[in-house]
Structure 1
Amino acid sequence: MIATAAFLIVFVLWTIFKLLRWGRRESFLPPGPPTVPILGNLFDFPTVYPWLKLTEMARQYGDVYSLKIINSTILVLSSTAAIRDIMDKNSAIVSDRPTSHFAQEITGGNHMGASRYNDQWRRLRRCAREVLTQSACRDHLNIQHAEATQLMYEILTRPEGFFDSIRRFSTSAILSVLYGKRAPRFTTPEVTAFFDAQHHWEELMQPGAHPPVDLIPIMKYVPERWASWKTEVKITRSLQRNLYFGLLEQVETRLQKGLPTGCFMETVIEKAPGFGLGREAVGQIGGTLIEGGADTTSAFLQTLILALVNFPHVQVRAKEELDNVIGDERSPKLDDIERLPYIQAIIKETHRWRPVAPTTLPHANIEDFVYKGHLIPKGTIIFVNAWGVFHDPQVFPQPDEFNPDRWLQDDMESDRTYDLVFGTARRVCPGIHIARNSIEVNTLKLIWAFKFSKSKDPATKQDKVYDLNDFVKGILTGPSRFECEITPRSAQHAEVIKRELLSATQTFEPFEQQLDPADREFVTQLRRDLADEFHML
């Protein structure tokens, strides 16, 4: 009895000792904000727009600082030099992801972006990289050009709906490339289904937005009636699976009928057995690539327009360059961009000014390593603070100004910094070539075709004042809905848009085999109207 009591006393004292050490920053870690017992910096970690608070702390504690959340360690990197030294030089050990209960429950560990650095991730990655080569992506440029042309037409005929038109474009382009099926309307079921699912996914995955289940595993056992995040996980899983596996089934049905389109998922289906991947993994590969190609591209283009509206001198210079190189007899094509350095600079500056992934998905290290005398223990959560890097006034003076000229200078440090846009270490976006093509094609065509101006306040008749920091919450972000005036640059530009859209009919047709009746009626009527218009001319 005495021995049992003594054991219990020792156990309780040991537990108290361990708990009191929780939340304390070990002396071997980089500096950071003061901690409180047990919780550490839990209340310092931001729950919305985390990149702003993380950047604020970087200015105080340095480009590499640490946070303690209970018994876990977070490392925040906010300079190119630190990212290069830690992420690039240690890529083999810092390419893991922190455990994500949400991602595991929703995707079964098959999400290329969120899964752990293990054999399954390597199989997924090898399959995606073998399929998404630069040359293979160029084979799909025709449909990306055609979809970009329809986007111009939609903005020409209904400029007030540009926000939704951009979303339609980005989703339709990636669906065509991946699944051989386009989405001709914003109300096409696959478009609405994707953005519904993506809203739930991004909100769940935003750091700090939900209770720290991964840091306090016992929370997994809280009943659902007291844990709303459990309901969100179920909803998100259902929405994603209905979309991703429904699209996969359509590809499988076409292949069974001997009607291939040459889309990427046909190749994935063919190669998956050789990589040891089953149907579950194949469905998630497609879903991950939709996420990477649809939401990010639309957010970039919406941000681009917000910048053009608020920094009109950029448009003037860009149009001069386009007039000199392209003229008004045709719209630009991707190959033209090599002769348009200022357009290239606009693309880089848009990524820098308001990055779509301000903190990127967090990494984790699978081994201890040492950085400037500091031990970084295995399992540390590593945030690459892209916002902090892109808004460092030492590298980018007046960082809140939209200034493409900064990219026209011979500055290798800035160029290396730009590479952050598509990820770091071994987690670089596998769909980088598709994404770049869509971004570049649409930047060219939109600036060539339109003038973007501020809307007028109905009461004062003065230009509206835009909140350039009003961006949606989530791990990926873009501007909240805003209004602006969009007008074609000339009647000639408008005619070219209509003519090129009508000429794109043959490009679209192979991707319209499985349209629903409403979509079929829409494209038929659109082409009839265009043909009638040109016949009258």
Structure 2
Amino acid sequence: MSANTSSSFTRAIMSQPVWLLPVLSLLLVTFVKYTQGRRSLKGLRLPPGPKPLPIIGNALDVPTTDMGAKFREMTQKHGDIVYLDALGQPMIILGSHEAANELLEKRSANYSDRISSVMRLISGWEWTFVLMPYGQAWRQRRKEMHQFMHPNTVAQYQPLQQREAVKFLHRLLAQPEAFLHHVRHSFGSTIMRVSYGIEVAEENDPYVAAVEEGVATFNEAFVPGAFLVETFPSLRHIPSWFPGGGFKRTAAKWKEIAHNMRDAPFKKTLEAIKKGTAEPSIASTLMEFAERKEGEEYEHGKIIARDVSALAYAAGADTTISTVQTFFMAMACYPEVQLKARAELDAVVGPNRLPNFDDRDSLPYLTAVAKECLRWQSVVPLGIPHRSLADDEYKGYFIPAGSAVIANLWAFSRDPRMYPDPERFNPERFLKDGKINPAVQDPNTFVFGYGRRICPGRHFAEASLFIMIASVLHTLAIDQAVDEHGNTIQPVAKMTYGVIQYPAPFPCTIKPRSAAAASLISQGMKEAI
């Protein structure tokens, strides 16, 4: 087709009534489905799965709630790899860590792409490499992020993480009922210093608020099935005032929020650099590199610095904030775990100081508590879907190029072969003879994702998780709340729904273990200021 013909065709399509676009899309996906079906017959079968309906395929089989549990039912019925055809989009559901590790880890060159997303482009998240297609832009941002988040570099952040943990304890003593908020503020304060060199305010900090608001829009924007435009991209062209165009108005509001999250703290760092008052940070370091260049190279380096600095928060925030909140829920539900952890901390750390990172290797039970927090309640139950770049074969089955590949992390965390009685919070499942048992699957191998798409902030997140729960257990007691009649309120282990899940609000009481423990917090605060 010539350029003139192509242009004429495009104008002809766009001049048609808006309702025609979804119809044409449906015809197109029907054709794609037909051609993919023919390709899959070249000596290999597609993986098993629910029987598709004409035209719409398995669109009605794709769950919109409790996706982890419902996808697990499919894999229990059909096997570790299940095929769905949702309106022409091939989907591969992986029901075991072994299958996910084979495809997404060992064959990561073929499974590191992302599904094209209209919402990414129109809701302000075009800059985040979490959703970027696999390519040069993604690789460059990933490379820059890695230099700040690999294990050797993360160690330099330990004094900051230790200081913020003490401030976290102080906030819990002052306002124990606001513990869920304190978790968010503590991590926000830590990562804001790492990313931008910004010291945040104790209350109502605008930069922490901007990040929180931005992450909230991300959590809504990318829930699978939430927006029809992700299935029918041509709907992007309908006016916002047209029936069904409400998503465009919503996306416009979210775009402003997402860009403010990205731009506001970066702008403050640029102002500090100009004044010569900037603290060492990811943003200031990357801008130092950018300023060695000129023209377009400088502008490109500035954009990289802006994007990577903003991404640092998301790289660890989703897992850390949710998992620390889950820790409080677990302690309220399982008081016997607190007793064992305290006994270990008392023996290793003693009564005269707070825990530090040097204690980590001597605290196997506490390490097991952290692992169980990661396993017990899935933060990102389905991860972010990968996309296959080329046709592939697995266990004799054909996996078409362009398939959305979903690793059911929620199901992996509940595999009874590895985790008997999976709904119970039981750190001892990771221990043998008083040491971490290497024969038990470490949840760190799947909760942070796979292959080249693994969370780059995982080492920072693990360190933050350790020091926060060690500090809390050494100094504070978390108990179940009581009602006005003195009856104990049993917490319910329930998570919110979204791409990122958090514990639903629950009551508990938080008090110092003793007067000596409260004094440790006070002394720690004096040293932290």
Normalising by the smaller structure, the TM-score range is: 0.7 to 0.9
Residue 264 of structure 1: aligned partner: 282
Shift of 1:413: 5.3
Change (3 A) 1:370 1:17: closer
Q: Structure 2: how far apart are the matches of 1:365 and 1:19? A: 16
| 1:156 and 2:173 matched | yes
Shift of 1:417: 4.9
Residue 487 of structure 2: aligned partner: 462
Residue 338 of structure 1: aligned partner: 361
Q: Structure 2: how far apart are the matches of 1:36 and 1:489? A: 61
Counterparts of 1:64-463 in structure 2, within 5 Å, are 64-107=81-124, 109-211=126-228, 213-225=229-241, 226-272=244-290, 277-409=300-432, 412=438, 414-415=440-441, 417-459=443-485, 461-463=486-488
Q: Structure 1: how far apart are the matches of 2:455 and 2:236? A: 31
Change (3 A) 1:17 1:222: closer
RMSD: 2.4
> 1:219 corresponds to which letter in structure 2?
L
CA deviations 1:447-494 (Å, max 9, x no partner) are: 1111111111335x32213221x2112111110111101111100000
| 1:495 and 2:519 matched | yes
Q: Structure 2: how far apart are the matches of 1:237 and 1:229? A: 12
Q: Secondary structure at the match of 2:83?
A: strand
Change (3 A) 1:189 1:295: farther
Q: Is the 8 A contact 2:376 2:422 kept in 1?
A: yes
Normalised to the residue count of structure 2, the TM-score between the two structures is 0.87
Q: Secondary structure at the match of 1:485?
A: strand
Shift of 1:195: 1.7
- Larger mean CA deviation between 431-440 and 153-162 belongs to 431-440
> 2:197 corresponds to which letter in structure 1?
G
Q: Secondary structure at the match of 2:61?
A: coil
Q: Is the 8 A contact 1:352 1:390 kept in 2?
A: yes
Q: Structure 1: how far apart are the matches of 2:224 and 2:33? A: 25
Q: Secondary structure at the match of 2:506?
A: coil
Normalised to the residue count of structure 1, the TM-score between the two structures is 0.86
Q: Is the 8 A contact 1:48 1:208 kept in 2?
A: no
Shift of 1:46: 2.0
Q: Is the 8 A contact 1:131 1:268 kept in 2?
A: no
Q: Is the 8 A contact 1:154 1:165 kept in 2?
A: yes
Residue 4 of structure 1: aligned partner: none
Shift of 1:406: 0.9
> 1:140 corresponds to which letter in structure 2?
Y
Shift of 1:126: 1.0
Residue 3 of structure 1: aligned partner: none
Residue 513 of structure 1: aligned partner: none
Q: Is the 8 A contact 2:318 2:379 kept in 1?
A: no
Q: Structure 2: how far apart are the matches of 1:377 and 1:56? A: 23
Q: Is the 8 A contact 1:128 1:268 kept in 2?
A: no
Shift of 1:254: 1.2
Q: Secondary structure at the match of 1:184?
A: coil
| Structure 1: segments with no counterpart, 5+ residues | 1-10, 506-537
CA deviations 1:354-409 (Å, max 9, x no partner) are: 12111111101111110011111111001111111110112211110111111114
Q: Secondary structure at the match of 1:415?
A: coil
Q: Is the 8 A contact 1:186 1:192 kept in 2?
A: no
CA deviations 1:78-129 (Å, max 9, x no partner) are: 2121112111221111011111111123446431111000111011111111
Q: Is the 8 A contact 1:24 1:68 kept in 2?
A: no
CA deviations 1:149-200 (Å, max 9, x no partner) are: 1110111121111111111101111101111113232421222222222111
Q: Structure 1: how far apart are the matches of 2:58 and 2:499? A: 20
Q: Secondary structure at the match of 1:202?
A: helix
> 2:282 corresponds to which letter in structure 1?
F
Q: Structure 1: how far apart are the matches of 2:331 and 2:344? A: 15
> 1:312 corresponds to which letter in structure 2?
P
**Same amino acid, percent of matched pairs:** 28
Q: Secondary structure at the match of 1:65?
A: strand
Residue 532 of structure 1: aligned partner: none
Q: Structure 1: how far apart are the matches of 2:35 and 2:415? A: 33
CA deviations 1:260-291 (Å, max 9, x no partner) are: 31112111223357896443333222222212
| Structure 2: segments with no counterpart, 5+ residues | 1-23
